[in-house]
Structure 1
């Protein structure tokens, strides 16, 4: 079924790709911090009606962590509209995700008026793009670095993907205790993740070629499969990327001569089953927010040569779109009180699955695979309500819930 899906998707995307204006070869270069900001500013100025730039914080050395938002109503959370994100360059010397996010931003904006599929996606999705989480590390990294570590860490010599508190929550510590040593970049991401109603996300890395999904760790930090309560969903959304990517799901070693020539069935892996990581960002997303995040390893070489960037873009562009579209899968709805006002922080509960909560206007999104589910909705001071909903592949199922005090 997945191979059929992949073929159909590529045929559809190929049909409208002809309408996309080709980019100059001069665009496929590595962008240092100033050039990256200039690129984002150019997209914002060229398409002011669908874009906004904002900062979520600063790095150790004072560089702003800038996000480019793409939406038909930038700066506004629209009721019923899911929010999605891509984060690149968490490890400063793993750079291809940074470039792909920049090119995705322009690709989406250039085609908003030209392509009905992209316009529909932008009109119904609020997209947040953070090309670089570790701009300080990037400035120290070296083009051509295959598997090195120069620039990997932030300016305080901390690995940001070992700096999140998620894994210690599972050992019973408080948020205050587990956040004491968070770096400024980590704190900025934590605050952004917790305050925003993100539904789906990917963290873009380099050094292998695989879609990696939670959990990244387990008690004892041993190498074994560590499944979340939504393992089926994570496997599905990971395949939505790997099977649309031009090379990720091919048989044989993902990166010959690296990691003993490891191969990954369908181009995906459970994080802890590959190798355990304590304090990773994808686990934090799942445990402390509504967001389903995976980690994408997109290049066998950490800092590829500039002449290879175009090829990476062709490998990934349809997969990047297809992955974000999974935010529109499952169930969505609004929880209101008897006066019709949305109820924030209501709990959307499904047995043996992660509980998600409503956003400030009472709306919610819950990624689920096809099937029939009993959903229990609870909020402080209200009588709970249960509803049965059937999920299909065609479009998200919608429910409206009224809670009475």
Structure 2
């Protein structure tokens, strides 16, 4: 894309083994130690590391005010293009740092986490050049990891979660991620929540449906042809005409209870929920599922074409993390950051939570928003914010006044992804 400009590329585009993936990540870290951090979030069933490369001006830890982004690939071991594209993405972000203005600004203003393989065990069982659905899809315990997250419709079914899933859940909870995508193969479409609805085949809309539609279409439109109307994969398993290259997950097919869950696993403890819904409902993160290619296990030549088709979309999607209402929530007296403040917009959509230092990011599209800040120890604050196409972001420093201990009120307060239900609320409008 002309806006991003030209950039250098040096990564060899080919099918890398698990060991080669780790070597490439290690070499990138050694070459660019000041803007990378290599870390492990856990291990697979067979003991293979789940290794993440973080890229940013301050890569080793969360810096208040800098948003956190993640790409996760290869949750299905036989879907391999994401593994390779994340290596290529890391390569261009690093070798063009200080040379390409857009890429440099992205690295300076964002901490970007890349997990090339969530299912390294499954990859070892996958068959090269395959269009097939099954061989290598599951982990070593024969569990489909994208059916292994707690369900939003039945969140109490939490048992026997696989080590790969548990590692990703703990990782996602430990860092204040704002935006994410998981990379798949098998079609050519951007899938957005909810994946699970009461009735399959109709849209299961979130409270942020319009936002998800915009995010999805922005990715599809930055792809060479994903956004065009027509069948996704001619003469393949999926011949649907998905409008403009995007789809609601449940309208396409329902994750929980659908036939892969039964077919692929004999593990009676399967939880049967998908990763993108879990991110939205149970974490602080908005996530999309991106189907990169019609072929599950692409050849080297196919991977080169897939990379050229997706590279600008992968970059552009990261940029959307800055289309937010963001800032800090501070104690009016001490000036210190307040964590666990519940932040909602127009009383709709996801309630997000301020992080340890009081920083927050709320993804938005153009519109006028009443932004509410609630905490059980503080008086509620409401700010009115206007977001436009010309200025798709707003920064706020919000101060909150502690409630007086003599105030007579009753309230119920649940932290994180639960619900704040004040019975009597004191509101300050500014």
Query: Could you state the TM-score of these two structures normalised by the residue count of structure 2?
Result: 0.87
Matched, 1:125 2:126: no
Cα deviation for residue 258 of structure 1 reads 2.4
Could you list the per-position Cα deviations for residues 156-199 of structure 1 after superposition, in whole angstroms to 9, with x for gaps in the alignment? 000000110033xx33x44xxx3212100010111111222111
Which residue of structure 2 lines up, in the alignment, with residue 366 of structure 1? 362
Compared with structure 1, are the counterparts of its residues 233 and 98 closer, same or farther at alpha carbon in structure 2 (3 Å cutoff)?
same
Runs of 4+ in 1 over 4 A off after TM superposition: none
For the 8 Å contact 1:166–1:288, the answer to whether it is kept is: no
For the 8 Å contact 1:93–1:150, the answer to whether it is kept is: yes
Q: Highest Rg: 1 or 2?
A: 2
Which residue of structure 2 lines up, in the alignment, with residue 73 of structure 1? 58
> Which residue of 180, 205, 226 corresponds with 2:184?
205
- 1:398 & 1:22 partners in 2: Cα distance? 34
- 1:265 & 1:89 partners in 2: Cα distance? 26
Matched, 1:320 2:314: yes
Unaligned runs of 5+ residues in structure 2 are 257-272, 403-430
Which residue of structure 2 lines up, in the alignment, with residue 160 of structure 1? 145
Cα deviation for residue 395 of structure 1 reads 4.1
> Which residue of 247, 251, 255 corresponds with 1:277?
255
Matched, 1:191 2:191: no
Which residue of structure 1 lines up, in the alignment, with residue 427 of structure 2? none
Residues 295-304 or 246-255, more deviating: 246-255
Which residue of structure 2 lines up, in the alignment, with residue 82 of structure 1? 67
For the 8 Å contact 1:286–1:292, the answer to whether it is kept is: yes
- 2:349 & 2:125 partners in 1: Cα distance? 42
Matched, 1:290 2:269: no
Matched, 1:42 2:27: yes
Could you list the per-position Cα deviations for residues 214-241 of structure 1 after superposition, in whole angstroms to 9, with x for gaps in the alignment? 000112x522110000001100111111
Which residue of structure 2 lines up, in the alignment, with residue 355 of structure 1? 351
- 2:364 & 2:303 partners in 1: Cα distance? 34
- 1:298 & 1:185 partners in 2: Cα distance? 22
For the 8 Å contact 1:211–1:297, the answer to whether it is kept is: yes
Could you list the per-position Cα deviations for residues 262-291 of structure 1 after superposition, in whole angstroms to 9, with x for gaps in the alignment? 121110000000000020000000001121
For the 8 Å contact 2:10–2:91, the answer to whether it is kept is: no
Which residue of structure 2 lines up, in the alignment, with residue 12 of structure 1? 3
- 2:78 & 2:298 partners in 1: Cα distance? 10
- 2:37 & 2:304 partners in 1: Cα distance? 26
- 1:358 & 1:67 partners in 2: Cα distance? 24
Which residue of structure 2 lines up, in the alignment, with residue 331 of structure 1? 325
SS of alignment partner, residue 372 of structure 2: strand
Equivalenced residues, count: 383
> Which residue of 86, 90, 95 corresponds with 1:101?
86
Which residue of structure 2 lines up, in the alignment, with residue 181 of structure 1? 160
SS of alignment partner, residue 354 of structure 1: strand
For the 8 Å contact 2:366–2:392, the answer to whether it is kept is: no
Which residue of structure 2 lines up, in the alignment, with residue 238 of structure 1? 216
Matched, 1:59 2:50: no
Residues 375-384 or 93-102, more deviating: 375-384
- 1:131 & 1:114 partners in 2: Cα distance? 25
Could you list the per-position Cα deviations for residues 100-125 of structure 1 after superposition, in whole angstroms to 9, with x for gaps in the alignment? 01110011001112111111111100
Query: Could you state the TM-score of these two structures normalised by the residue count of structure 1?
Result: 0.92
Which residue of structure 2 lines up, in the alignment, with residue 5 of structure 1? none
Unaligned runs of 5+ residues in structure 1 are 1-9
Cα deviation for residue 11 of structure 1 reads 2.3
Residues 141-150 or 364-373, more deviating: 141-150
Matched, 1:403 2:400: yes
> Which residue of 220, 225, 249 corresponds with 2:203?
225
